[in-house]
Amino acid sequence: MHERDFISWIRRQEQLDPKAFPLGPGDDCAIAKLGGEDLLVTCDQVLDGVHFRLAEHGAEAVGRKAMARALSDVAAMAAVPVAAVATVALPRGFTRQDAEALYRGRRSVSDVTNCPVIGGDLGVWDGPLAISMTVFARRAGVTGGVEPVLRSGARPGQAVCLTGRLGGSWRGRRHLEFLPRLAEGVALAMNYRVRAMIDISDGLATDLRHLCEASGLGAEIVAADVPIHNDARIGLNPADSAAALRRALTDGEDYELLFTLPSAWARKLVERQPLPVPVTRVGRIVKARGITLIHPDGRREELADAGWEHRTDG
Amino acid sequence: MHERDFISWIRRQEQLDPKAFPLGPGDDCAIAKLGGEDLLVTCDQVLDGVHFRLAEHGAEAVGRKAMARALSDVAAMAAVPVAAVATVALPRGFTRQDAEALYRGRRSVSDVTNCPVIGGDLGVWDGPLAISMTVFARRAGVTGGVEPVLRSGARPGQAVCLTGRLGGSWRGRRHLEFLPRLAEGVALAMNYRVRAMIDISDGLATDLRHLCEASGLGAEIVAADVPIHNDARIGLNPADSAAALRRALTDGEDYELLFTLPSAWARKLVERQPLPVPVTRVGRIVKARGITLIHPDGRREELADAGWEHRTDG
C-alpha cells in the first residue's frame, strides 16, 4: 500500500464546512473555530523502530521527542501551544523506572514550552512502545492578532529561508534533543512577513516540495547556500561535500523552520540575524513545479520525489 | 508496574492553572478555557489484542470502535463533539482494502455524530495496529448553557441510574457496534438534573467506584435492579442468574451512561422513559466509601476493586 495515495484518497472523501474548519488536513495543524477564536490542532505519533529505538535511546529521550515533535508543528504555524493530551501504549514488562523517565522527558519539554499535558490514556499491550500526542494551540500575539502561517502562502519570487543547519540529525542525536522553534516561528511571522512555513521533518527537499505543492508552485535551491550541520559529516571523508549536502537535503528530522517571505524582507532578516539560531536564505520560489538544485557550476538538478514515501506489502 | 499507581504518581507531579484548565486529568474529558468557551478534550487509544482483535473483528469494526469509544467520553460529560484528530500505526502488510475499511468504519460514526476528523498522522511499523483518537467538544445548548457533568458531583441520597442493559458486550459484538450516547447525555443533563456521570467502559462496579471516588463517597447497588443484557447470558445455563449478574457488573465495554441525580428526578425519569434507550435506577449514593451490592435476601456484599487494574512485569 502507498500511504500517500491512501491519504490523498481519504482527503477526497471528506468535505469540511470551511466556516467551522478554516483549515482541514494537509498542513502542520488543522484549524477549527471555537468561541470566535482559532483553535489549532495537530497530532503526531512516535513509534518504536520508526521514530526512536527504545533500547538504544532510552525512555527519557523518547518522552522528550514525542512532545517536541508535536510542538514543532505548532511552531510551523507561528502559533502558541495551549495544552496537549497523550495516549501511551506500553510494552508488557515496561518498568516503573522507565515510565517515570518517559514522563520526565515529556515534562521537561512541557516546562520550557508552557504546554502541559491535561489528559491522557495509558495502556499496556504486547506491542512495542507507541506514543500519540495531540497539541492544541491558539493564535500568537497579545490579542491573537498573528494569523497562522500556512504552507500555501508561497508566491513566485519569494525567498526560501530556514533556521539552523541541516543533516545528520540521527547520527548526532539532535532528533532526540531539539527544542521546537516556537518563539522563532512567532517572531518570523510577526516581524518578517513570512508567508508560508513548514517544519523540516522529512528533509529540506521533501518538505520544500510539500510547501510548494500546497502553494501550487516550485522552488530552486542554491546548493552552495544550504547550511550543513556538523552532524551531517559524521563518518564522511571531510572532502566529500557532495555526500554531506545530500544528507542535509534528505536526512530529515531537523525540526528547523523552512519558510518563504518577500525577497526584501529576507535580506533584512539574514542581515540582522534576530533569532537565537542562524537564519539562511537557500533559494527562491518559482512558477515551474518541482524542486531544482542549482550546483556551483550552474548545473541544474531536478530533485526526485524521494524520502517520505514508505511502501508496505499488499 | 501498576498502571494505576503510576497514573496517580503522574497526577501528583502536575499543577495546572485552574483558570486556564478548570478540569485536569481524571475525568472523562479535560477542560481548557479558549476564547471564553469551555474546550473539552478527551483521548483514547484502541490496540490490537487489547481493545479488538483485527484478524477476528475486521478493520471496519475497528475503525468504528476507535471513533465511538472516544465519543463515549464526550457523551459522559453531556457535551457536543466538534471534531477529532487521529494517529494510526498500521502493521506492515496492511492492505489498501483494509485501510479503506478502517476509514469507512470510522467515517460511519463521524457521520452520525457530526464529528469529522480534521487531521491525523498515519504511519507503518513492525508493531500491531494501534489507533489513537482525540476528540474535542464544546458545551451543549444553543448558547452553550449546559455545564459539563463531572464525575465529582454525586451527593449522598442521590439515585444511581444507567442507560441500557449491561454485560456480555464482547460475546455479542456490542463493543464494536455501539453508538455513543451523545444525545442521551445532553438530554439527561438538560432535563433531569443529572449531577455526576461516567460512561461504563470498565464495568458497572468499577466505573461506579470511579464516580464515587471522584465524589468522595460510596454507593449501594440493588442486585435485582441491575438490567442484564441478553448477551450476558450467552453460553450460560439459563438458571444461572448469579453468573449473568456478575457479567453485568464486571464485563465492561457497555458504553452506557451511569449517572446520579436527585431521587425525585430519578423517579420522573424512570417513569417517563424519555430516551430511545431504557433508563433504570440501580441504587443510591451513600456516605460510606466502597460499592455495596444488596442481594434479594438482604445480604450485603462489598464489591472488591477488580477489573480495571492490569499488572505488568517489572
Name the residue facing A123 among B20, B50, B83 (closest C-beta): B50
Residues A177-217 pLDDT 10s = 999 999 999 999 999 999 999 999 999 999 999 999 999 99
Name the residue facing A34 among B48, B82, B121 (closest C-beta): B82
Q: Do A37 and B32 touch (CB under 8 A)?
A: no
Burial of B108 (0-12, 13-18, 19+ CB in 10 A): middle
Same domain assignment for residues B256 and B176: yes
Same domain assignment for residues A180 and A285: yes
The pLDDT value recorded for residue B308 is 41
- Indicate the pLDDT class of residue B306, thresholds 50, 70 and 90: low
Buried b (16+ CB within 10 A) or exposed e, A86-96: bbbbbbeebee
Same domain assignment for residues B172 and B287: yes
Neighbours of B33 (CB within 10 A): 16
Same domain assignment for residues B40 and B92: yes
In a domain, A254, yes or no: yes
Same domain assignment for residues A103 and A172: no
Q: Which residues contact B314 (CB under 8 A, 6 or more apart)?
A: A93, A94, A95, A96, B1
Structurally, how many domains does chain A consist of?
2
State which amino acid sits at residue A283.
G
Domain boundary among A116, A139, A162: A139
Average pLDDT, chain A: 95
Same domain assignment for residues B119 and B193: no
Distance CA A249, CA A245 (A): 6
Residues B72-123 pLDDT 10s = 999 999 999 999 999 999 999 999 999 999 999 999 999 999 999 999 999 9
Same domain assignment for residues B171 and B298: yes
CB pairs under 8 A between A and B: 232
Distance CA A28, CA A30 (A): 7
Neighbours of B238 (CB within 10 A): 7
Domain boundary among A91, A113, A139: A139
Residues A40-66 pLDDT 10s = 999 999 999 999 999 999 999 999 999
Average pLDDT (B40-47) is 98
Residue B87 domain boundaries: 14-139
Q: Note the pTM of the prediction, 2 decimals.
A: 0.95
Same domain assignment for residues A8 and A110: yes
3-state secondary structure of A44: strand
Residues B213-234 pLDDT 10s = 999 999 999 999 999 999 999 9
In a domain, A45, yes or no: yes
Is residue B28 scored above 50 in pLDDT? Answer: yes
CATH number, domain with residue B105: 3.30.1330.10
Same domain assignment for residues A46 and A178: no
ipTM of the complex: 0.94
Same domain assignment for residues A76 and A201: no
CATH number, domain with residue B283: 3.90.650.10
N- to C-terminal Cα separation, chain B = 6
In a domain, A295, yes or no: yes
CA angle B266, B272, B273 (to 5 degrees): 85
In a domain, A78, yes or no: yes
Q: Do B35 and A32 touch (CB under 8 A)?
A: no
In a domain, A199, yes or no: yes
Same domain assignment for residues A231 and A133: no
Domain boundary among A88, A106, A139: A139
Chain B positions in Cβ-Cβ contact with residue A310 (cut-off 8 Å): 123-124
Which strands, in side-by-side order, build the sheet including B159-163? Answer: B196-199, B257-261, B159-163, B279-286, B218-222, B290-294, B300-302
Chain A positions in Cβ-Cβ contact with residue B89 (cut-off 8 Å): 45, 47, 130
Distance CA A149, CA A193 (A): 10
In a domain, B167, yes or no: yes
Same domain assignment for residues A125 and A189: no
